């Protein structure tokens, strides 16, 4: 099979379509097996689609197009690879021989084009570019190649043809207007001012296109008092985030409850054991593992926080899959730590580090982002003092961590300075009562303020 299809792969049960964010190669380029060809942006993550084989790339679906899973977006022609790499033959048919068929004439014209290109040591045009050059009588000497090693691509030929046609159209307009007699004014028309250029284009006519390579005309000055703006199309991930945030506010009865946590004991434990922890597990002991383990235990005690609404039913989970919010260059993502009720502190820290690193590098898979029964977000890393986080549908609650600040607080009747963090729990009031939400947050607070309780789970 000489033509291999480039299809949109299945990226998960919940993903049925995506947007072609960009093609890494141009139409007509020679590509290798498994070489990344394009970036597909889905609702959850961006994926690179590799080449199914080695050959000449043919792009059928442009960037920015929404495509369905299984849809063909291009082909790789393996038969053209050898043809594209083969040097031109000097003994091909001569078009001047009497009795040549139309096919022979086309082949000879193609040979002439290639010969002209070799006189300037120009790289072989891609197969798609060669076909266009023959059809439009374009010499390779006139087309600057922008492909790899100066190779002429299909886009280069199309650009040259457009510039050539624009120049010819401009020349035709100039010749026509220079020969046409000046229009006679009507009786009611005011006299034409002296010195007016009779060959200037009429008002409303399109301006002639500049010749290729000419500097671009300066932009029209902005109206007085105006300020520059720019418009960018939202990425698919950003549109998904926007839709889900609006959906959460419109489909849930959201409420947020707050509390404050004394971080002294956790900070003391980290100071005492961070070096030994790092040495044994080769990962740092952070605050997130304490909150994930505390939330996990609290979720087992208050199962409604770990449930969600489905039509007229409440679906409960007998396990804890906790999402952690990760800020990336493309937007917010929430990869999942699965079965946190079975994970140790070291397991949690290693998984958090791995997911956060891959999230920032754009390497998360669809499976990493699918599911989750509860979410934890840490705005404190950016300096946030307090917030009301939005629930991640279809989940029913989200815990917000914030900045740790030295604040005055009362301990045993005395005012002391302690490291305090404000925490927030946003929840769906349809299935979670206020008392249950407060008790859940207080339970998390108690585990953090006395982390030894996590060991005996009380």
CA 148 – CA 25 distance, rounded (Å): 10
pLDDT at res. 239: 84
178 or 65: whose pLDDT is higher?
A: 65
Q: What residue spans define the domains of the chain?
A: 3-83, 101-173, 254-456
Each residue of 187-220: pLDDT tens digit?
544 444 444 444 444 544 455 555 555 555 565 6
CA 22 – CA 25 distance, rounded (Å): 9
H-type alpha helices, 93-231: 102-119, 127-135, 154-179
pLDDT at res. 222: 65
The DSSP bridge pattern shows strands 36-41 and 17-23 to be antiparallel
Q: Report how far Cα 309 is from the mean position of its chain's Cα atoms.
A: 31
Each residue of 373-432: pLDDT tens digit?
999 999 999 999 999 999 999 999 999 999 999 999 999 999 999 999 999 999 999 999
Q: Report how far Cα 216 is from the mean position of its chain's Cα atoms.
A: 31
Query: Would you place residue 65 in the very low, low, confident or very high pLDDT band (cuts 50, 70, 90)?
Result: confident
Token code pair at residue 326:
């990760």
CA 326 – CA 97 distance, rounded (Å): 71
Class of domain 101-173: few secondary structures
Each residue of 378-394: pLDDT tens digit?
999 999 999 999 999 99
In the DSSP assignment, the letter for residue 425 is E
Token code pair at residue 197:
């250029």
Q: Which CATH architecture fits 3-83? A: Beta Barrel (2.40)
CA 128 – CA 134 distance, rounded (Å): 10
With vertex at residue 309, the alpha carbon angle to CA 306 and CA 314, rounded to the nearest 5 degrees, is: 75
CA 439 – CA 252 distance, rounded (Å): 21
Catalytic residues: 429, 433
Token code pair at residue 212:
């290729």
pTM for this one? 0.61
pLDDT at res. 96: 47
CA 117 – CA 278 distance, rounded (Å): 63
Least confident stretch, 98-107, 119-128, 408-417: 98-107
CA 49 – CA 26 distance, rounded (Å): 15
Domain 254-456 = CATH 3.30.559.10: yes
């Amino acid at each position: 099979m000489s033509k291999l299809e480039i299809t949109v792969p299945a990226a998960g049960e919940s993903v049925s379509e995506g947007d072609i964010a960009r093609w890494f190669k141009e139409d007509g380029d020679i590509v290798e097996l498994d070489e990344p060809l394009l970036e597909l942006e889905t609702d959850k993550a961006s994926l690179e689609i590799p080449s199914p084989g080695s050959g000449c790339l043919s792009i059928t679906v442009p960037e920015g197009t929404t495509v369905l899973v299984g849809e063909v977006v291009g082909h790789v022609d393996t038969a053209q690879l050898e043809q594209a790499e083969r040097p031109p033959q000097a003994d091909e048919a001569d078009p001047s021989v009497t009795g040549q068929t139309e096919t022979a004439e086309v082949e000879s014209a193609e040979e002439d084009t290639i010969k002209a290109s070799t006189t300037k040591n120009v790289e072989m045009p891609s197969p798609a570019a060669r076909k266009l050059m023959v059809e439009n009588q374009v010499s390779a000497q006139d087309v600057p190649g922008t492909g790899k090693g100066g190779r002429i691509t299909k886009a280069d030929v199309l650009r040259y043809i457009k510039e050539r046609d624009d120049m010819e159209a401009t020349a035709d307009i100039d010749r026509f207007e220079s020969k046409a007699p000046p229009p006679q004014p009507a009786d009611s028309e005011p006299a034409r001012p002296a010195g007016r250029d009779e060959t200037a284009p009429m008002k409303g006519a399109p301006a002639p296109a500049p010749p290729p390579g000419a500097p671009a005309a300066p932009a029209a000055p902005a109206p007085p008092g105006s300020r520059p703006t720019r418009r960018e199309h939202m990425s698919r991930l950003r549109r998904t985030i926007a839709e889900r945030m609006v959906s959460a506010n419109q489909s849930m009865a959201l409420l947020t409850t707050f509390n404050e946590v004394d971080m002294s004991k956790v900070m003391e434990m980290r100071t005492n054991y961070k070096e030994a922890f790092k040495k044994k597990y080769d990962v740092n002991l952070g605050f997130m593992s304490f909150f994930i383990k505390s939330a996990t235990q609290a979720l087992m005690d208050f199962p409604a926080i770990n449930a969600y609404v489905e039509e007229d039913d409440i679906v409960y989970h007998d396990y804890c899959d906790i999402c952690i919010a990760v800020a990336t260059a493309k937007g917010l993502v929430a990869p999942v730590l699965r079965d946190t009720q079975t994970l140790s502190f070291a397991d949690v820290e290693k998984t958090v580090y791995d997911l956060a690193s891959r999230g920032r590098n754009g390497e998360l898979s669809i499976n990493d982002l699918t599911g989750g029964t509860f979410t934890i977000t840490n705005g404190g890393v950016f300096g946030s003092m307090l917030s009301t986080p939005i629930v991640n549908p279809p989940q029913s609650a989200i815990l917000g961590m914030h900045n740790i600040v030295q604040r005055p607080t009362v301990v045993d009747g005395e005012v002391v300075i302690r490291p305090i963090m404000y925490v927030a729990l946003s929840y769906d009031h349809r299935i979670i009562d206020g008392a249950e939400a407060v008790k859940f947050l207080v339970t998390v607070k108690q585990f953090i303020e006395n982390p030894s309780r996590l060991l005996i789970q009380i």
